[in-house]
Structure 1
Amino acid sequence: MTQHISDTVISKTLISKALIAADYNPTHDAMLQRTLERIALKKEQGLRTPDELWIVDHNDVYTLGQAGKEEHILRQTTTPIIKTDRGGQVTWHGHGQLVIYWLFDLHSLGWSVRHLVSHAEQAIEDVVNDCLKNHPLATTTNISAHARRDAPGVYLYANYADIIDNNDIANNDIDKNANEPNDDAIMIGKIASLGFKIKHGFSYHGIALNIDCDLAAFNAINPCGYAGMQMLRLSDFTAMSAQLADALNYEQVTQKLIDNIAQRHGGLIELRAIAPKS
């Protein structure tokens, strides 16, 4: 049963909601209902309602996107499989994974769908790279997080060297190449997934970052439709502990991500150039 913990006012135009032990269907239904309410208020009364971040700890579930192919479910388990209306293929949600749903009015923000996706990927990059830099394990000092143009989400690479075109920076051209891996870069696997639904300019669904979840759940599927994709979790690359003062914990990572998204929502963090297809 879903437990609604708290609402937090982040700014005049953004609030967050915390949900734990959240069953998928009632959470999705509530998210869709809230989106429809906001659409109606804007169309009928011209009201701009605050955008919302839903911070969700889901009970174990596999979700299959709108165009999802059941062939990517490799075997049946006791975990429920639910068809949903987001983009993308099949994925898993469960405890130890941070899910954040972005209920945003894109038109009021002046964002395109591409902006939404890029802000989501870059927020994850920022937070994961900050964690890797400031709380690394001894063997992970050459690991960094990056998005890819050919496969939505965020991935960990070893020996990744950024190649930035100064003309792109000067022109603020977010569609040109940046964050391009060098020839020695090795993609280790995927640490975060994303999938959105846009309805009348309003977004819902969002992102999922593996923090300290049991990755075995992904063995029963082709994650996001990619056969053999290695799924990763942050706790295997950073020092994480609820007891050690110098270590990260789940709550700290969550707050870092909320803060980064809120700054982007408020226009305080601009998009970097988007990674090229690789």
Structure 2
Amino acid sequence: MEITIIQLFNGVSMGSILLLIALGLAITFGLMNVINMAHGELIMIGAYATYITQNLFIDYMPASMFNWYFVLSIPVSFLVAFVIGWLLEAGLIRFLYGRPLDSLLATWGIALMLQQLARTIFGAPNVAVKSPTWLDGGYRLMDGVVLPYKRLFIIGLVIVTLVAMFLYIYRSHAGRRMRAVMQNRDMAACLGISTRRVDAMTFAIGSGVAGIAGCALTLMGPIGPSLGTYYIVDAFMVVVLGGVGKLLGTIVGAFGIGVTGTMFEFWTNASLGKVLVFLCIVAFLQWKPKGLVAMKTRSLD
């Protein structure tokens, strides 16, 4: 029983991390149909924003205030990645809509530039972000089962972010305009919606969510310039498996990959477990090429 509970919790925890990483990509790739290979570097930017916030608290704030730096670093990471995403969309992405291969190559080049910029500013070695003391330890569920507070905090952060994204996409006027543009751009423009402004805001929000993911990843271990490259493939797998453009599909895909991947790794090993998960995804997409939840659109095929 203890082993089953621990493995299930590990699967949910891994699924929550994948969901937080893939949420931003679900917007930029799923809704905007832009293959953003720099998504991992936006995650890296959020992680370094957390690192800078930590250092500012150490240098300029009383020691008693240090435990609060991580709470502040969450909106800081979002805002920094939001601004960089907005600049990236305004300076490059806006010229590449409808050209997926060009956007792939261009954002891949941007990713390499951002990695090199991070190495120039912070150095090539990884840096450590110290978690606040209130995240040390874990919750003792029963004998032999301790749930780490860091993983529980990440799950809670994912829930809050997911609720905020749902309210924005499906319950706000800006979200309705965004969905209208993604479903039928020409008709939305005829009805007076500024598609240019919607594109910029949508890409920036997706980048901001990637920044929050980077902030959360600092709790898992050291960070470095190549942090995002470890997760970009998993993020694309989550979005494609769940169904392009559907928030529900992204949720199911993330937790499905997290739980099955943890189980496969427990039965075999880490490398073989990832291979088995990938084979399962390929087999499933042969059966349902549009993913778990297909997006409904008013545009003609």
**TM-score of the two chains, using structure 2 as the length reference:** 0.25
Question: Taking CA–CA contacts closer than 8 Å with sequence separation of 6 or more, which of the two structures ends up with the larger relative contact order?
Answer: 2
Bigger radius of gyration, 1 or 2? 2
More strand by share: 1
More helix by share: 2
Calculate the TM-score normalised by the size of structure 1: 0.26
